[in-house]
Amino acid sequence: MSNSQSTEQPSGHTPRVFKNFSLLLSGRVGAAVFTVIALSVMARELGVELFGLVILVHTYVLIVNGVVSTKAFEAIVKFGLPAHARGDLEVLKNLLSCSYLMDVITAVLSCVLAIALAPWVGELLGSGQQFGEWMQVYGLVLLFAGTSTAKGILRMHDRFAALGLQLGLGPLVRCLAVLLAWWFELGPVGFLAAWGVGYMLENLILHWQALLVVKEDLQAPRWMRPQLSQLRQQHQGFWPFVGVTYIQGTLDLLPKQLATLLSGVFLGTAAAGLFRVAREIATIVSKPALLLRQAVFTDLTRLWEDRDPRFKVVPVKTAVLSGGIGLLLALLTIPFGPLILRVMFGEGYQAAHWLLVILLLAASMELAASSLLMAAYAMGRAVTIVVINIIATLLYLVAFAWLTPLYGLIATGWAALILSAASLLGGVYLIAALKMDSNPSS
């Protein structure tokens, strides 16, 4: 690669990363507004206890799906991009067909497990029969949950506008359905149905957008019989990569979804409702962390494949800018947090003020760490990232189990802060130790 090339390419990649990020963020901003409206209506109508129970049902579904799903979308990008670039459509078709097969299997398995385990989880939460009965029906939404391949297809083809549309439309429908349930006084079951309709629709939109891209891109026949046995030969390192991204994705569930469920187990359904309210506002910062990973990974993969000597520029610049914005929002919440909670959710939810501040601080660290860790993924350092996150998660679990019984709801925030700080330090270490002449390793 010439000097001129190495100088010019990163400057082209950085704007593209932020363009893709802005497309995703625009959808997420709309989604956040609609979700907050829906949560606000539910929180005021149901009260803290019943609101917490409804939230626990939906959270439980997301946890089961998160544990069972293969999370193969990053593998689609990493292994699909080279096959697409060299015009090897048969290899690409097999990759997509196998991934879709895994999506179908995991969606059905998620549904069966969620319904089967619901009575036991209900007893653990102290909500027993009511939780189990609601889950018998609500668990069916998981049949629409297999979206890993669709996400990978859209990211591989830089269709971030389509992803942004999907991020916003589902919550819009959910919000409208919640307003209808409120207007007709359908109660908690009506609110749950509204939440489920929105969840199914956003997943169906994602599949539709991905199929349109496949129709454009692949020559007929577009699909082939999945040959799982050939993936190892066609894509060296595919299964280990899927394995480590699965572990990483499952670990990500802890501060985002499992923490809500654990709050219910340790402190009761009211505490779960308060935690969800604080976490929902904190997702103004934490959700962009996930979106940033999605936007930056494709370009970082290309940069690393080219062994561009300025590979560090994109993740470091992104980390500083995004983390700084997150920190500013966290600081603003110190004086204005009680007002925000009272206006949005009602008097009973102001108890979540300091939890909200701490969760926003944790989210700002997570946002800064996201691009650094994605750079390491692009380098093929997936196992190292998993080790870092396992250590961070163990610290989180110890802090959660130790501090929560002593200090109550606020301790869930301290545990999240410890987790995010450990991940950020790990990302800084990986980038600081990077040598561009090194070979990728798994």
Q: Which H, E and C letters describe the chain, residue by residue?
A: CCHHHHHHHHHHHHHHHHHHHHHHHHHHHHHHHHHHHHHHHHHHHHHHHHHHHHHHHHHHHHHHHHHHCCCCHHHHHHHHHHHHHCCCHHHHHHHHHHHHHHHHHHHHHHHHHHHHHHHHHHHHHCCHHHHHHHHHHHHHHHHHCCCHHHHHHHHHCCCHHHHHHHHHHHHHHHHHHHHHHHHCCCHHHHHHHHHHHHHHHHHHHHHHHHHHHHHHHCCCCCCCCCCHHHHHHHCCCHHHHHHHHHHHHHHHHHHHHHHHHHHHHHHCHHHHHHHHHHHHHHHHHHHHHHHHHHHHHHHHHHHHHCCCCCCCHHHHHHHHHHHHHHHHHHHHHHHHHHHHHHHHHCHHHHHHHHHHHHHHHHHHHHHHHHHHHHHHHHCCCHHHHHHHHHHHHHHHHHHHHHHHHHHCCHHHHHHHHHHHHHHHHHHHHHHHCCCCCCCCCC
| pLDDT band of 286, cuts 50, 70, 90 | low
| pLDDT band of 249, cuts 50, 70, 90 | confident
Mean pLDDT for 49-55 is 86
Each residue of 148-176: b (16+ CB within 10 Å) or e?
Answer: bbbbbbbbbbbbbbbbbbbbbbbbbbbbb
Above 60 in pLDDT, residue 70? yes
- Determine the pLDDT at residue 402: 92
d(C-alpha 72, C-alpha 156), whole Å:
12
The dihedral built from the CA positions of residue 373, 377, 383 and 386, taken in this order, carries a sign that is positive
Closest Cα partner for 412 from 325, 352, 330, 332? 352
Mean pLDDT for 348-365 is 91
Mean pLDDT for 344-367 is 89
What are the φ and ψ backbone dihedral angles of 229, each rounded to 5 degrees?
A: -65, -25
Above 60 in pLDDT, residue 14? no
Q: Which of 170-184, 215-229, 349-363 has the lowest mean pLDDT?
A: 215-229
Out of 44-48, 241-245, 318-322, 356-360, give the one with best mean pLDDT: 356-360
Burial class (CB in 10 A: 0-12, 13-18, 19+), 342: middle
- Determine the pLDDT at residue 4: 37
- Determine the pLDDT at residue 26: 56
d(C-alpha 323, C-alpha 367), whole Å:
5
| pLDDT band of 10, cuts 50, 70, 90 | very low
- Is the pTM value of this prediction over 0.75? no
Give residue-wise pLDDT tens across range 102-124: 999 999 999 999 999 888 888 88
| pLDDT band of 78, cuts 50, 70, 90 | confident
| Greater pLDDT, 41 or 33 | 41
What is the rounded average pLDDT for all residues in the chain? Answer: 80
351 C-beta neighbours (distance < 10 Å), count: 19
Give residue-wise pLDDT tens across range 358-412: 999 998 898 888 878 878 777 777 788 888 888 998 999 999 999 998 899 999 9
| pLDDT band of 130, cuts 50, 70, 90 | confident
- Determine the pLDDT at residue 442: 39
Mean pLDDT for 426-434 is 83
d(C-alpha 25, C-alpha 20), whole Å:
8
Above 50 in pLDDT, residue 289? yes
| pLDDT band of 267, cuts 50, 70, 90 | confident
Tokens of 221: 């026949």
Closest Cα partner for 177 from 161, 196, 149, 160? 196
Above 50 in pLDDT, residue 257? yes
| C-alpha dihedral, 208 to 238 to 95 to 217, nearest 10° | 70
What are the φ and ψ backbone dihedral angles of 20, each rounded to 5 degrees?
A: -60, -40
- Determine the pLDDT at residue 25: 56
Question: Residue type at 315?
Answer: P
| pLDDT band of 254, cuts 50, 70, 90 | low
Half-sphere exposure of 240 (CA within 13 A, CB side): 11
- Determine the pLDDT at residue 7: 36
Question: CB under 8 Å to 142, separation ≥6 — which residues?
Answer: 61, 64, 65, 107, 110, 111, 114
Question: Residue type at 219?
Answer: Q
- Determine the pLDDT at residue 145: 87
Q: Which of 16-25, 55-64, 293-302, 323-332 has the lowest mean pLDDT?
A: 16-25
| Greater pLDDT, 209 or 136 | 209
Mean pLDDT for 265-274 is 87
Above 50 in pLDDT, residue 164? yes
| Greater pLDDT, 37 or 304 | 37
Mean pLDDT for 232-257 is 78
| pLDDT band of 441, cuts 50, 70, 90 | very low
| Greater pLDDT, 293 or 311 | 311
